[in-house]
C-alpha cells in the first residue's frame, strides 16, 4: 500500500502563482487512499477519551463521520449560517479575503462534554478557532483537534497553541 502522501494531488500555481494546491479529492477517489486517511486520523485519537466528534462542512463531515461511526461516537455538524433547522449559536470569523459565519445547534454540545474536532486541512486556523469558541461557549471541552493535512507555512497551529493538535500530513509551505 502507498503512503498517504502519495494519494495527494499537488497542483502548482493554483489558485494563484506560487501556491501549490493540495487536492484532497484524489484521496477520496481512491478506496485505499480514503481508508488510509480515515485510519490515520483515527490512529491519532488512540488513548484520547472523548464523547463527540465535531466537524465543519463539508470535508470535516467526510473525515469526521467515519471516525465517529468507527468509535461509536456522535457527530456534530458545523455549518454555514442558515443551514441548520433548530436554534443555533453562531460566530463570525475572518477569512483571507473577508469574513464568514458558521453555526451549530444550540443543544449539540452539553456542558462538560469532551469534544474532538476533525477537518481535512489546517491553513490559517481561523475556522477551527471559531469552532473552538462555539464548543466552549456551550460548555464543551476540546480535547483534541485532528487534520488530514497541515500547511505549516500559514502558521495555523499558532492560533491553536493551547490545544492538542495532530495532522497526518504536514507540508512546510503555504
Q: Which entry of 46, 49, 87, 96 is annotated as an active-site residue? A: 96
In angstroms, the CA 143 to CA 45 distance is: 10
- Annotated active-site residue 90? The verdict is no
Q: Which entry of 5, 57, 59, 141 is annotated as an active-site residue? A: 59
Place of cell 466528534: 53
SS3 84: coil
Phi-psi region of 18 (alpha: psi -120 to 50; beta: other; left: phi over 0): left
- Annotated active-site residue 129? The verdict is no
Query: Which positions ≥6 away from 117 have C-beta within 8 Å?
Result: 53, 54, 55, 60, 128, 131, 132, 135, 142, 144, 145, 146
Alpha-carbon distances, residue 41 vs 94, 96, 101, 139, 149 (angstroms) = 27, 26, 26, 25, 10
Question: Which residues are marked as active site?
Answer: 59, 96
Amino acid at each position: 500500500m502507498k503512503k498517504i502522501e502519495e494519494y495527494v494531488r499537488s497542483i502548482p500555481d493554483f489558485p494563484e502563482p506560487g501556491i501549490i494546491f493540495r487536492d484532497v479529492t484524489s484521496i477520496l477517489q481512491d478506496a485505499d487512499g480514503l481508508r488510509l486517511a480515515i485510519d490515520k486520523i483515527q490512529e491519532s485519537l488512540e488513548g484520547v477519551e472523548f464523547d463527540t466528534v465535531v466537524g465543519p462542512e463539508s470535508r470535516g463531515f467526510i473525515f469526521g463521520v467515519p471516525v465517529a461511526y468507527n468509535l461509536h461516537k456522535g457527530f456534530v455538524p458545523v455549518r454555514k449560517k442558515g443551514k441548520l433547522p433548530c436554534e443555533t449559536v453562531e460566530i463570525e470569523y475572518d477569512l483571507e479575503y473577508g469574513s464568514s459565519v458558521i453555526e451549530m445547534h444550540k443543544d449539540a454540545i452539553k456542558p462538560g462534554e469532551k469534544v474532538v474536532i476533525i477537518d481535512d486541512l489546517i491553513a490559517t486556523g481561523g475556522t477551527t478557532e471559531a469552532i473552538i469558541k462555539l464548543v466552549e461557549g456551550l460548555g464543551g471541552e476540546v480535547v483534541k483537534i485532528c487534520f488530514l493535512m497541515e500547511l505549516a507555512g500559514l502558521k495555523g497551529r499558532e492560533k491553536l497553541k493551547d490545544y492538542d493538535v495532530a495532522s497526518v500530513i504536514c507540508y512546510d509551505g503555504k
